[in-house]
Chain A
Amino acid sequence: MRIGRHTFEYQNRPEVIETSAIAGPQEMDGPFKNYFKYYLTDDTFGQDTFEKAEREMMVFVIKNVLEKSKLNSADVDVFIGGDLLNQIISTSYAIRQFSIPYLGIYSACATYVEAMLIAAAMVDSGFRKNAICCTSSHFSSAERQYRFPLELGTMRTPGSQWTVSGSGACLISKSKEKKYPYLKYATIGRVVDYGIEDTNNMGAAMAPACADTIYHHFKETGLTLSDYDKIVTGDLGILGSNILIDLLAEKGYDIGGMHMDCGAEIYTHKPRLHQGGSGAAASALVFNCFLFDKLLKGEYRRILFVATGALLSPTATFQGDSIPGIAHSVAIHAPNY
């Protein structure tokens, strides 16, 4: 149901039934290690290129989520996913062996929430019964896509973030028991660009878009901060998170105590990685392994899950353009709330 220009409300409890994720070796050392069930010891995943490794991670989580939810690929009506590589090849190549109707989407690191938002809308309306959302990213393939060859001796600047290696998939459907976390609201963000040109400071480029989406969510739904236990952002990093808190404080929302950033949290064990993680997999990993678990147990009652994306491309950057930011959000409630 339409609530405002950005926000709508799901009417029929589309639920996140099952999730699966696979983490890279570096993510496995981090604070979420007890939550990750599957991980890579070698980030080539037995493949000869990093692009193929990223694709294999996706194949793994798709198979895993089907297995866990006891479904065949024939039971799935739609697969929505994307990744960071040109022409979203990881997703398109990973899905070709499953013969599931497929929508490829791209919002950089906001792709996971965008996929959930669309999938839940399709399930909610009854157009689709079972929908799978999936994203992936891989440090080594993203590095080549956006930056330099891996062996080039460059120094990372203090504003930089590190692309998370991993992939996550979830199944969105409606259950009879109504015992799974469900999606309540979705807010579609708009592109916001404050003219940040520094590709090593993506947090600052994305934070205004994130603040914009969160602001519209609260303004249009009329909810207050106390309606949520956590506001979870995708991959703003430490600096981006601080900017977000400042920007929202200016609008009268003090989220400091209830905010968590997936990218900033995932690498707290490695301060050398500066601002933390980024990439389409950052939010997917943390949601699938950590947040989903907390919601299922009712430890978090309601969360606002906002993933942010920096919609840059090296071509646009070399042509001197700034970095447009995007953020989409979904409000996810625990089964009994």
Chain B
Amino acid sequence: MQRQNFDNKAYKEYVHNIMPRTNHLKTLIMAFVVGGIICIIGQIIHDVIRALFPYLERDAVNSYVTLIMIFLGSFLTAIGVYDDIGKFAGAGSIVPITGFANSVTSPAIEYKSEGVIYGIESKMFVVAGPIIVTGIVCSVIVGIIYLIIGG
């Protein structure tokens, strides 16, 4: 079987055609429902804090919601539940902020075996690093642009 008899493009096309398809409907519905539920949990936390501490500023309430959601995502990752949710929820559990917590906590736990400094601390952002870096670069650019146009 020589390579030229069966060129790459034809082979890729052939493989693409017989590849099993993702079940679109199921994955989309799961992502929608799980993502929606996580956001509702966030809203409930928000409203409860609002009701308990009515004098808190709007930004402070949001900060508490973030804190609690990150705690939940991190804790569920640590006890081994979050990856089970992610298996069927897909983007539904990746896109919410709990998914960010998951992507920070999971490598930290995983690389614990290499020690605190070379494992936990240096590997913590192997997955989430790009999010922080991109986010900060973008925000600095936005800040400078607004400074120039006199926002």
Contacts and interface: CB of A to CB of B under 8 A. Distances in A.
Q: Do A and B contact each other directly (Cβ–Cβ < 8 Å)? A: yes
Given A195-B8, A243-B18, A149 B106 contact: yes
Contact of A149 (B1, B14, B127): B127
Give the contact-size bracket for chain B.
35 or more
B27 A155 contact: yes
A158 interface: yes
A239 B83 contact: no
B87 A155 contact: yes
Nearest to A251: B1
Interface in A218-266: 239, 242-243, 246-247, 251
A195 B99 CA distance: 33
Interface of A: 48-49, 51, 144, 148-159, 192, 194-196, 201, 204, 208, 211-212, 215, 239, 242-243, 246-247, 251, 274
A151 B105 contact: yes
B60 interface: no
Interface centre among A148, A239, A243 (most CB of B within 10 A): A148
16 contacts: A51-B113, A148-B106, A149-B107, A151-B109, A154-B94, A156-B87, A157-B22, A194-B8, A194-B11, A195-B8, A195-B11, A208-B1, A208-B6, A247-B1, A247-B6, A274-B20
A151 B77 contact: yes
Nearest to B22: A158
Nearest to A151: B106
Contact of B12 (A196, A211, A246): A196
B148 to A, nearest CB: 36
A56 to B, nearest CB: 15
B121 interface: no
B88 interface: yes
A204 B109 contact: no
Contact of A153 (B6, B21, B94, B126): B94
A151 B20 contact: no
A152 B106 contact: yes
Contact of A159 (B19, B78, B85, B106): B19
Given A153-B89, A155-B86, A201 B15 contact: yes
Contact of B19 (A49, A158, A212): A158
B58 interface: no
A87 to B, nearest CB: 15
A150 B87 contact: no
B103 to A, nearest CB: 6
Interface string B21-32: 110000100000
B93 A151 contact: no
A243 B80 CA distance: 36
Contact of B109 (A51, A149, A208, A247): A149
B90 interface: yes
A159 B14 CA distance: 14
A158 B90 CA distance: 13
Interface string B109-121: 1110100000000
Nearest to B93: A153
A196 B105 contact: no
Interface in B59-106: 77-78, 80, 82-90, 93-94, 99, 102-103, 105-106
B110 A150 contact: yes
Contacts of A204: 15, 19
Contacts of B15: 196, 201, 204, 243
Given A150-B106, A153-B94, A155-B27, A194 B6 contact: yes
Nearest to A209: B1
